[in-house]
Amino acid sequence: MKTAVVGLGYVGLPLTIRLSQLNIEVLAIDTNLKKIKKLQKGILPFAQTEPSLEDFFKKEFKKGTLVFTTTFEKLSEIELIIVCVDTPIIGKVPNYKSLKNALKSIASYLKNGSIVVIESTVAPNTSKNLVIPILEKETKMKINKDFFVATVPERIRPNFIFEQLTTLSRVIGISDKKIENRLRQIYSRVTFGDIDFTNLTTAETVKTVENSFRDVNIAFANEIAIACEEIGVDVWKIRELVNKSPFHNMHMPGAGVGGHCIPKDPWLLASSVKDNRLNLIETSRKINDGMPAHIFALAQEALNEKKIKTSGANFAILGYSYVGNSDDTRNSPTEMLISILKSKKIKHKVHDPYVKKFSNQSIENMAKGAHILIIMVNHDIYRKINYKNMAGIMKTKIIIDGRNVVPIEEVNKLGFNYKGIGNKIT
Amino acid sequence: MKTAVVGLGYVGLPLTIRLSQLNIEVLAIDTNLKKIKKLQKGILPFAQTEPSLEDFFKKEFKKGTLVFTTTFEKLSEIELIIVCVDTPIIGKVPNYKSLKNALKSIASYLKNGSIVVIESTVAPNTSKNLVIPILEKETKMKINKDFFVATVPERIRPNFIFEQLTTLSRVIGISDKKIENRLRQIYSRVTFGDIDFTNLTTAETVKTVENSFRDVNIAFANEIAIACEEIGVDVWKIRELVNKSPFHNMHMPGAGVGGHCIPKDPWLLASSVKDNRLNLIETSRKINDGMPAHIFALAQEALNEKKIKTSGANFAILGYSYVGNSDDTRNSPTEMLISILKSKKIKHKVHDPYVKKFSNQSIENMAKGAHILIIMVNHDIYRKINYKNMAGIMKTKIIIDGRNVVPIEEVNKLGFNYKGIGNKIT
């Protein structure tokens, strides 16, 4: 079966590579001409830190069967079209502009009997209330007679994209039983995990609930971390011991929650519920969004203890991507911290080896003359910092540890004032 | 080593039995004379539904070494005193009256070199700010010189008390390293689980965080359940599929959260934090406390669909204990539902085979002439109800399923209007 993938981001491009590995011909469409030009030359335009992805891409590219294009004409030959476009939010409201545009373009060439698969994460009932109506209206065709729709929400996360794509189970929502076999043929080869068929809305709900679950549990860890700072205990010890109790899996607290999924999907879920407010989910979003501000509050407290005015301090910030060892900067918590510093006109420098803009100097050069060092991301290299050097370079010895990566005893011995998320014991 | 257990409730009595099994002499103290008189006669005064507990008790009782008493005099011979008194809340505020009274009585007879162990769940910093000051003041002795304190929060739950007491790991907070070995000697025999030593406040925090974790995760399941009712999907299917994603353990939604721990311990934790509000934890409490009212709302909706006025309907309620197959009625969600019905002067009958007050008639007799049947507890026998009989007995065929125990297809075929927590699909 020939397939098309529409939208070549973190979801669509790995899927394209995977399908090609399975010797399935893929028409890979993206409206971003710059991206397509790179892909046509065999250059991976992003996600260079993703294990194996670049190698896999180069290997599949050499086969010569991958077609990268900005146009939709060739869809008229294809019966399985997989939509992986971006479905962001603006504020708390879903923005389906890319999805609507993709659907309209697809509609122009939709072949009789085709299946349109939505892998993009969408709010519950979006297939029913948006995808099918648009396709029916634009094509004048009838759902489950002339064409079919499925929702197969992606289940991947940075640093593990290919591993997860090929091993995790998938939930497949279908508009009609008839398409079950055709989809099983494809997806049971894409992944070694289970394939669970259900209806469209259930599949959409599962995905948004999954990420809301993560967000709420991270918020719980963050709320407990802040409580531990006040109680005077170490949240990491608390977490270790709590998780020795059966069925307990307290998540890790941290300097903020970024990425494309966790900060967004709870709002997608909330948008589908009008009569009932999702208070727990909304509270969680607020707590997690507030963590960069909490980091700033810890910084203020530490500077204050050393009698340094925050307004006159030089901040040195380690890490800009939203997750360790990745170049993915979407919804970066560091960006939120920087916007606080900027609004207060506080001098700051940023280092991140994976993010071009912040990779042009060494950690030492960046931290030279700083009053305070803040670790925002748990890149592996930030676990190997030479703090003896740092003690000599920095103007005052203050560390704020947003990711539990600092050797506390060592820096205490060197005379640093250390404060960590959930651990202000000194 | 001789030991004393002060407070013979769900925690202290099983512990007394366990210590006796280990051939440790136990002085078992409770100020409730009625309870002590029963125990002195070899009668288990509660928890009859607890697997093996009654048999174990009778066996140990026959040994003749267990001493049950209401007085504290004999403490003067004992070096390990384990406090298991009730630490309830009034509203949202901890009430340490029993704990304070116990400590004062203990103080009168406290032997030099003794260890006072607190197994009762208390707010973080209670040992430091309440237990030690009371003991020092009343005894004129000095902590860590003349006596010691440890916090060993109980980790048990109804239906599994003895199993959990003897298998789960325990966190032991100690006032001084010196007492580690003495406590290890006892607790490594009480349980086969790990023993983790830490400081007093960390142990107290671990326990309250553990139960807050459960409460937040149940609240998440409940919030999602209510959202699913509106979205039009079945929360039980959602849960099944969400939990196929790695690291996901969505809890079960339900008709309410009762018992002595989960509704209380989050408030203990919150009481120890003054500068920061625990918004997520407070929101969770509100959601879980609201579930009986949600059950009532589902009932109103179903009655409305059958054109029956709620005010004139007869309610038949199955289950009064707070958890399946148990006689434990502490903080029963059914009690909350009944108080709603009473406030609206709505007629209702209740059945529970494990609760004396509600066990004097059969399910059929109770449900005769009812307009609506509400299942509040997942006792095993409620999974085997003869709905064909019920259809003949009830005035109108409405079921509200608060615990996902009803065979939906079967009752739908019989013409029931079925609504479940998180599932209004009909």
ipTM of the complex: 0.96
Distance from CA of B280 to the nearest CA of A (A): 6
Q: Which residues from chain B sit within 8 angstroms of residue A233, using beta carbons?
A: 124, 199, 201-202, 205
Indicate whether A332 belongs to any domain.
yes
Q: Assess whether B207 carries a catalytic annotation.
A: yes
Instruction: Over range A233-256, report the average pLDDT.
Output: 97
Q: Which residues from chain B sit within 8 angstroms of residue A124, using beta carbons?
A: 231, 233
Pair (A176, A299) in one structural domain: no
Distance from CA of B16 to the nearest CA of A (A): 22
Pair (B180, B294) in one structural domain: no
Indicate whether B234 belongs to any domain.
no
Indicate whether B64 belongs to any domain.
yes
Instruction: Over range A196-219, report the average pLDDT.
Output: 98
Which pLDDT value is given to residue B398? 98
d(CA A166, CA A180): 20
Nearest by CB to residue A227, choosing from B228, B246, B273, is B273
| Interval B122-163: pLDDT, tens | 999 999 999 999 999 999 999 999 999 999 999 988 889 999
pLDDT level of residue B194 (50, 70, 90 thresholds): very high
Indicate whether A425 belongs to any domain.
no
Which pLDDT value is given to residue B112? 96
A89 in Cβ contact with A267 (< 8 Å) = yes
Distance from CA of B302 to the nearest CA of A (A): 17
Pair (B202, B300) in one structural domain: no
Pair (A197, A294) in one structural domain: no
Q: Which residues from chain A sit within 8 angstroms of residue B261, using beta carbons?
A: none
Q: How many domains does chain B have?
A: 2
Pair (B195, B324) in one structural domain: no
d(CA A264, CA B269): 30
Q: Which of B183, B206, B229 is the last residue of a domain?
A: B206
Indicate whether A211 belongs to any domain.
no
Residue A12's CB: how many other CB atoms inside 10 A?
Answer: 24
Pair (A188, A295) in one structural domain: no
Pair (B134, B24) in one structural domain: yes
Q: Which domain holds residue B124?
A: 3-206
Nearest by CB to residue A220, choosing from B276, B280, B287, is B280
Pair (B299, B400) in one structural domain: yes
Burial of A73: CB neighbours in 10 Å, binned 0-12, 13-18, 19+: exposed
Pair (B184, B65) in one structural domain: yes
Best interface-test mutation with A: which of B172, B200, B209, B239 has the largest number of A CBs within 10 A? B209
Q: What is the 3-state secondary structure (H, E, C) of A286-316?
A: HHHHCHHHHHHHHHHHHHHHCCCCHHHCCEE
What angle is formed at CA A50 by the lines to CA A48 and CA A53, rounded to 5 degrees? 85
Contact A227 B286 (CB under 8 A): no
d(CA A122, CA A130): 10
| Interval B199-251: pLDDT, tens | 999 999 999 999 999 999 999 999 999 999 999 999 999 999 999 999 999 99
Indicate whether B249 belongs to any domain.
no
Q: Which of B151, B178, B206 is the last residue of a domain?
A: B206
Distance from CA of B233 to the nearest CA of A (A): 6
| Interval A271-300: pLDDT, tens | 999 888 899 999 999 999 999 999 999 999
d(CA B235, CA B424): 10
Nearest by CB to residue A201, choosing from B232, B249, B272, is B232
A45 in Cβ contact with A20 (< 8 Å) = no
Indicate whether B322 belongs to any domain.
yes
Contact B212 A202 (CB under 8 A): no
Q: Which residues from chain A sit within 8 angstroms of residue B246, using beta carbons?
A: 168
Contact B283 A279 (CB under 8 A): yes
Best interface-test mutation with B: which of A151, A217, A245 has the largest number of B CBs within 10 A? A245
| Interval B335-352: pLDDT, tens | 999 999 999 999 999 999
Q: Which of B206, B231, B257 is the last residue of a domain?
A: B206
Minimal-distance CA residue of chain A relative to B247: A249
Q: Residue A266 half-sphere exposure, CB side, CA atoms within 13 Å?
A: 28
Which pLDDT value is given to residue A158? 86
Nearest by CB to residue A238, choosing from B209, B228, B244, is B209
Distance from CA of B31 to the nearest CA of A (A): 32
Q: Which residues of A are catalytic?
A: 207, 261
| Interval B259-289: pLDDT, tens | 999 999 999 999 999 888 899 999 999 999 9
Minimal-distance CA residue of chain B relative to A274: B230
What is the per-residue burial (b if ≥16 Cβ within 10 Å, else e) of A187-205? beebbebebbbbbbbbbbb
- Please report, rounded to a whole number, the percentage of residues in chain A having pLDDT higher than 70: 100
Q: Which residues from chain B sit within 8 angstroms of residue A128, using beta carbons?
A: none
Pair (A191, A328) in one structural domain: no
Q: Residue A319: which CATH number?
A: 3.40.50.720
Pair (A139, A33) in one structural domain: yes
Which pLDDT value is given to residue A253? 98
Indicate whether A248 belongs to any domain.
no
Q: Which helix (H) or strand (E) holds A198?
A: strand A195-199
Residues in CB range of A339: below 8 A, 6 or more apart? none
Which pLDDT value is given to residue A275? 83
Which pLDDT value is given to residue B51? 86
Q: Which residues from chain A sit within 8 angstroms of residue B218, using beta carbons?
A: none
Residue A426's CB: how many other CB atoms inside 10 A?
Answer: 11
Does residue A93 carry a pLDDT above 90? yes
Instruction: Over range A378-404, report the average pLDDT.
Output: 97
Catalytic residue chosen out of the listed positions B35, B207, B419, B424 = B207
Does residue A1 carry a pLDDT above 90? no
Contact B216 A212 (CB under 8 A): no
Q: Say how many residues make up chain B.
A: 426
Pair (A67, A199) in one structural domain: yes
